[in-house]
Amino acid sequence: MRFQILSFSSAIFGLLAHRVGASCYYPDGTFPTDYSYEPCTGDQYSSCCIPSEGDQCLSNGLCYYTGGQYAFRGACTDKTWQASQCFQHCKSGDAASSWDELVSCGGTKYCCYSDGETCCNNDANVFEVSSGTVVNDFAMSTAATTGLPIASATDVGAGAQPTSSTYTSHTGTKQSPNPSGSNAAASTATSTAPLPPPPEPAKQTSHVAIIAGAAAAVIIVIIAVGLAWFCARRRYNKRTQAVAAPANSYPMTSDGFQRLPDKSPRPVEVPVPHSTPAPPYQPPTYPTPPGVVEMESPYAPPQHNQWGHPVHEAP
């Protein structure tokens, strides 16, 4: 009994020592900091998957996430990634420092999502992937030997995208990758139920964003026009009230008429200058033109008028 206990303890200790000693690396040789990977097998070299996500380790070097029903290239215990146990695709470019998903191109043909969403259109990016079997199930903590082929294009839509990964352009740059949203998948051997439909394409999301932006712009324009009209109306009312204010300040008379102020100037008495007696009349004298000789006239004015009254000459 004591021997059996010691043997069991030694086996557990050896397994733990192997787990601690075996590290997982990304294709560029860096240690993963985004997820906690563990080797799938106890061999010298092994692919690595994520136990906390409930991954299944496949014999072809891929990891299968049962929660999202997709396959992806994880990590490997060979830091140089030259071992055959390491998946030899999707390990260049920006994908070398992270995990990378597989895009189904139909049948057993796949490409790397880091090469772009339309990587299937470029034959240089397409490669064959053999069917794999589950060698370690982190979700069930048991190993299975049943066949597990990778899902074809009819199982998983090629337009599916990672749910929490951000890819930019065709270089496949990822920020905070999460293997909960890849679109290459593997169908389980124990279930024949169809996979859930893929999420809607990002184009529809962009259309919704454009429509929302246009609606917001229209609302802003309407609010601006309303404010401008309100300010103009308020200014007009103030001007009207200012003009009408003097007329309303005068009281109404008993006969219904409004008494207005007398704006005509008050009469001013103009002083009259003192009159002086007019001087005696002096007949005008005209100068004699040159060359004219004034002759004496025998005519004498009458001394009495026709009524017999005397005529006096003006002094």
| Inside any domain, residue 265 | no
Please check whether residues 215 and 140 belong to one and the same domain: no
Residue 262 included in any domain: no
pLDDT digits (tens, 9 = 90+) for 214-241: 999 999 999 999 999 999 999 888 888 7
Closest to 66 (Cα-Cα) out of 75, 51, 55: 55
Res 231: pLDDT = 93
Of the candidate ranges 112-121, 163-172, 250-259, the one whose mean pLDDT is the lowest:
163-172
205 and 88 housed in the same domain? no
Examine the fold and report which residue of 213, 237, 261 is the final residue of a domain before the chain moves on: 237
- Confidence label for 174 from pLDDT (cuts 50, 70 and 90): very low
Are 134 and 20 part of one and the same domain?
yes
| Residue 290 in domain | no
Mean pLDDT of 248-275: 68
Query: Does residue 205 share a domain with residue 139?
Result: no
- pLDDT band at residue 293 using 50, 70 and 90 as cut-offs: low
User: If you average pLDDT over every residue of the chain, what do you get?
Assistant: 71
**61-82 pLDDT per residue, tens:** 999 988 888 889 999 999 999 9
Residues 140 and 221 in one domain: no
175 & 219 share domain: no
Q: Is residue 191 part of a domain?
A: yes
pLDDT at 21: 53
Nearest alpha carbon to residue 186 among 133, 117, 140, 116: 133
50-64: per-residue pLDDT in tens?
999 989 999 999 999
Residue 282, in any domain of the structure: no
- Mean pLDDT, rounded, for 160-169: 34
Whether 68 is covered by a domain: the verdict is yes
Residues 218 and 81 in one domain: no
Winning range, highest mean pLDDT, from 82-96, 128-142, 180-194: 82-96
pLDDT higher than threshold 70 for residue 182: no
Quick one: what percent of the chain has pLDDT higher than 90? 25
Residue after which a domain boundary falls, among 181, 210, 237: 237
Last residue of a domain, one of 176, 208, 237: 237
Domain match, 189 and 154 both: yes
- The structure's pTM equals 0.42
Whether residue 66 is contained in a domain is answered as yes
Identify whether 1 is part of a domain. Answer: no
- What's the pLDDT score for residue 193? 33
> Which domain covers residue 82, as residue numbers?
14-196
CA–CA distance, 23 with 257 (Å, rounded to integer): 106
**Cβ-based neighbours of 230, under 8 Å, separated by 6 or more:** none
Mean pLDDT of 242-259: 64
Cα→Cα distances 103→41, 82, 122, 211, Å: 26, 23, 12, 30
Residue 284 has pLDDT above 90, yes or no: no
The whole-number pLDDT of residue 86 equals: 93
Confidence of residue 10 (pLDDT cuts 50, 70, 90): very low
Q: Are residues 66 and 207 in the same domain?
A: no
Average pLDDT, stretch 138-165? 44
pLDDT band, very low/low/confident/very high, at 180 (cuts 50, 70, 90): very low
Same-domain check for residues 150 and 71: yes
Do the Cβ atoms of 47 and 61 come closer than 8 Å?
Answer: yes
Pick the residue with more confidence: 115 or 157? Answer: 115
Q: What is the pLDDT of residue 50?
A: 93
Residue 88 is predicted with a pLDDT of: 92
Q: Are residues 107 and 134 in the same domain?
A: yes
Spatial distance between the Cα atoms of 198 and 162, rounded to a whole number of angstroms: 10
Do 212 and 178 lie in one domain? The reply is: no
Cα 314 to Cα 74, 76, 133, 212, 297, distances in angstroms: 148, 153, 160, 115, 21
- Structural domains of the chain, count: 2
User: Rounded CA gap, 24 and 27, in Å?
Assistant: 10
